[in-house]
Structures are given as C-alpha cells and as structure tokens.
Amino acid sequence: MSEKREPHLKMLLNPAHFLSFGFGSGFSPIAPGTAGTAITIPLFWLLSSLTPLQYLLVVLVMFLIGVWVCEVTTRYLGVHDHGAIVWDEVVGYLLTMVMIPAELVWMIVGFFVFRLFDIWKPWPTRDLDRRVKGGFGIMLDDVMAAVYSSITMQIILYIWR
C-alpha cells in the first residue's frame, strides 16, 4: 500500500477509509472488487423498498460521498485507485439494480452482470478510467459500467417477463 503500511483495522477507524474500503471488504485477499460488490447485495435489499426517485437520490448521495472518500484514501495511500478501494463497486452495483425486483435471482444476476461490465470496461469506460483521475475518476468508470449493466438488466428483465 505505498509507503503507508498501517494495519487494516487501524485504517478502518477513519470514516473515509472505512467507506472507501467498502466497510473492510476491499481488504479481501481474493477479488476485492467482487467482495465489495457482494457486500452491497444486502444494502440493495434494504433500499429496495424506496420509491425509484428516493432510491436514485440515495445512490446520488452515495456517489458524491464516494468521490470524496475515494479522493481522501487515494491521497493518503499515494496510489490512484488502489485495489482495496471498492466504494465505486458499491455504488455501481446499486445503479445496476435501479428498478430491478429485490428477488434473490435478480440480485445474483445483477451481481454477475455488473462484475462483467466492471471488468470488461467497454468504451468509453476504459478511456475514462485512464484519463480521469482522483476520486471522481475512481467513481466514474464504475458508473459507466453500471449504465451498461443497468441497460442489460432491463433487457433481461423485459425478455424474462
């Protein structure tokens, strides 16, 4: 983690790091982005009772908080988009699931669809990831992946039903 080698637990005491590391899920030794997405499934379930507008407002606030916390953690670590920073996956998954039923099968499908687009990074996602730096850049590429994922989920839902 660059020059800063604080124990994970100590870093999690800082609220900005706690959020940017996805409540600690970003410290997963295997696939931290996947772990960050997975811990968001119960959060989606909790938010699913909101109206679509309320849901989007919560996600917008989470995005804005994410820009700040990811910037704080990036500056602290001295590494742009460190692998343990997974708040962008949290927000990305929640955007993927806009207006998707809170049923286990759809939550799992959404998980895999979002992970696919987050890893694949189709145009212009990959370009944005390379060009836009800081907290905003960290959040933006996952928002773009979520746009592709959300469209895909709506198509799958439409075909299925």
The predicted-structure confidence for 57-87, as pLDDT tens digits, reads as follows: 999 999 999 999 999 999 999 998 899 999 9
CB 35 within 8 A of CB 28: yes
Going by C-alpha positions, the residue among 153, 6, 22 that lies closest to residue 89 is: 22
SS3 150: helix
Count Cα neighbours of 85 within 13 Å in the Cβ-side half-sphere.
Answer: 29
Asked if residue 110 has pLDDT above 90, the reply is: yes
Task: Choose the weakest-confidence range: 3-7, 13-17, 96-100, 101-105.
Answer: 3-7
The pLDDT of 23-31, averaged and rounded, is 95
User: What is the band of 126 on the pLDDT scale with cuts at 50, 70, 90?
Assistant: confident
Position 7 scores a pLDDT of 59
Q: Which residues contact 68 (CB under 8 A, 6 or more apart)?
A: 16, 135
Strands (E), 66-161: none
- In the chain, the amino acid numbered 147 is V
Considering the chain, what is the average pLDDT of its residues? 93
